[in-house]
Structure 1
Amino acid sequence: MSVRSEARDDGIHVVTMEHPPVNALPVQGWFDVAAALDEAGADQATKVVILRAEGKGFNAGVDIKEMQNTTGFDALIGANKGCYAAFKAVYECPVPVIAAVNGFCLGGGVGLVGNADIVVASDDAYFGVPEVNQGALGAATHLARLVPQHLMRTLYFTAKTIPAADLVQHGSVYGVVPRADLDDLALSLAAEVASKDGRVIRAAKEALNGIDPIDVNTSYRFEQGFTMELNLMGVSDELRDEFAGTDKAKQK
């Protein structure tokens, strides 16, 4: 199972991603994340959601090996639609979403975290969007919510990563703690939110989304269009083969 969900009695709903070895989610996994967030938000007893992960890291993006081992474009289209649904579900969840990030947070992981309302991280956490290495585009929309514009472009063009501790100074990560303390920090913040009147919290979430300077859903969908172009050109397939170490890459 890639995603599990727990509705607690205190108004905190915990959604956990776990897909060994590196939490690179398959197509269904992204839709499962979306479904878990939608279900949590639809429950009027939920006042706040924690999105977390078990394993080596928070999220390594899409499962490229699944994509390269699937005939045709079904996996590519599925990943595009699944990521869009998951990112949208985080952003449009009727209650605040706290992302608790451990270890690596790459590609689609940044899409999830960038759309969250509050971000906390372990001291070994780092963030990056290595899409250009795999001939894809996407999640710049969400990376731009974590760092200033020029730093976002530098990270995007170079595929470099940035440690969570550096994001604290930009205000996008609330706090960094040892990994053993990460869940406690997330739960502590969630408890503060859950102590408020749920009707007010839901109204506040809708209001804050309403005054957002960009439409994250449209912005991300625009990025995905270029990914499809690169795939039609054959560029993406070639770079994914190299990354996945498939037989097709070895034959070139």
Structure 2
Amino acid sequence: MSVSTSTPRDGVAVVTVDQPPVNALPVRTWYALADAVTAAGRDPAHRTVVLTGAGRGFNAGVDVKELQNAADHSALIGANRGCAAAFCAVYECEVPVVAAVHGHCLGGGIGLVGSADAIVATRDATFGLPELDMGALGAATHLSRMLPPHLVRPLYYTGRTLTAAELHHHGAVWALAESRSALLETALELAARIAAKDGYLLRLAKEALNGIDQADVRRRYRYEQGFTFEANLAGVSDRHRDAFLDRRAGDGSRP
């Protein structure tokens, strides 16, 4: 199954995404992820949710091949709505969400971690928004929750990635794990510390913090998506997505 939920510790649910080979998610998996996070947060037995990915990396964004194989705009609309649903599910989850990141965290992955309450990551995990190279826009809303604006803008324009160690330096990553094997334990340690608090108060705290957030995350992301649709209507997006798939076909190591 692409999305699974386990409970390795009292009060802590772990939602794991497993979409080989690189966790580039088709439309159905974005919605499955949204449903799993929402259900985990709604369960009164859970006081924290850990979100992680199996395989080579945390998340590589949308399944570009699915977009390019569609005969109409249905896959694009589905991906945009599915991403919005997943990001909002993490942000609006009734309990705090800890993102545990290894390998690559790209595109939609930034939307997920930027919606979370905390991030832990392997020291060499990489984070980036290669959206312009894909003929798209989006998740600048979420990157802006992690980093200051004059760092966000050149990262967005260039598509450059940062390591978890660099993000930790800027305060975006709570803790670094020295290895993939230590990552989940690092995330569970933080999650357990949160889950030790009163579940009713944690739910109030999550709602209160969202309520005083300076950014209307839902509205701002949907605003960004409008420009993605404009790029598609202009014919720019298809050209860039085709070029990406050609590059990936020539280099099997690329996510």
Q: TM over 0.5, yes or no?
A: yes
Aligned residue pairs total: 246
Q: What is residue 249 of structure 1 aligned with on the other side?
A: none
**SS class of match (1:245):** helix
- Which is worse superposed, 76-85 or 5-14? 5-14
Q: What is residue 202 of structure 1 aligned with on the other side?
A: 203
Q: Distance in 1 between matches of 2:128 and 2:201?
A: 34
Cα pair 1:141 1:220 within 8 Å, conserved = yes
Q: CA deviation at 1:186?
A: 0.5
Q: What is residue 251 of structure 2 aligned with on the other side?
A: none
1:143 maps to a residue whose letter is L
Q: Distance in 2 between matches of 1:125 and 1:190?
A: 20
Cα pair 1:7 1:40 within 8 Å, conserved = no
Q: What is residue 47 of structure 1 aligned with on the other side?
A: 47
Task: Tell me the alpha carbon deviations over residues 12-59 of structure 1, each in whole angstroms, 9 at most, x when there is no partner.
Answer: 011001111110000101001100011111111110000001111000
5+ residue gaps in structure 1? Answer: 247-252
Whether 1:157 and 2:157 are equivalent positions in the alignment is yes
Cα pair 1:123 1:179 within 8 Å, conserved = no
Task: Tell me the alpha carbon deviations over residues 154-177 of structure 1, each in whole angstroms, 9 at most, x when there is no partner.
Answer: 100000000000111211101111
Q: Distance in 1 between matches of 2:93 and 2:186?
A: 21
2:189 maps to a residue whose letter is S
Q: CA deviation at 1:7?
A: 3.6
Task: Give 1:88-127 correspondences, 5 Å limit.
Answer: 88-127=88-127
Q: TM-score, normalised by structure 1?
A: 0.96
2:220 maps to a residue whose letter is S
Whether 1:180 and 2:181 are equivalent positions in the alignment is yes
Q: What is residue 242 of structure 2 aligned with on the other side?
A: 241
**Identity of paired residues, percent?**
58
Cα pair 2:41 2:95 within 8 Å, conserved = yes
Q: CA deviation at 1:245?
A: 2.3
Q: Distance in 2 between matches of 1:192 and 1:3?
A: 25
Moved over 6 A (4+): none
Q: TM-score, normalised by structure 2?
A: 0.94
1:49 maps to a residue whose letter is V
Q: Distance in 2 between matches of 1:6 and 1:181?
A: 18
Q: Distance in 1 between matches of 2:174 and 2:115?
A: 14
Tell me the C-alpha RMSD between the 2 structures. Answer: 1.1
Task: Tell me the alpha carbon deviations over residues 84-108 of structure 1, each in whole angstroms, 9 at most, x when there is no partner.
Answer: 0000000000100000000100000
Cα pair 2:40 2:46 within 8 Å, conserved = yes
Q: Distance in 1 between matches of 2:175 and 2:42?
A: 28
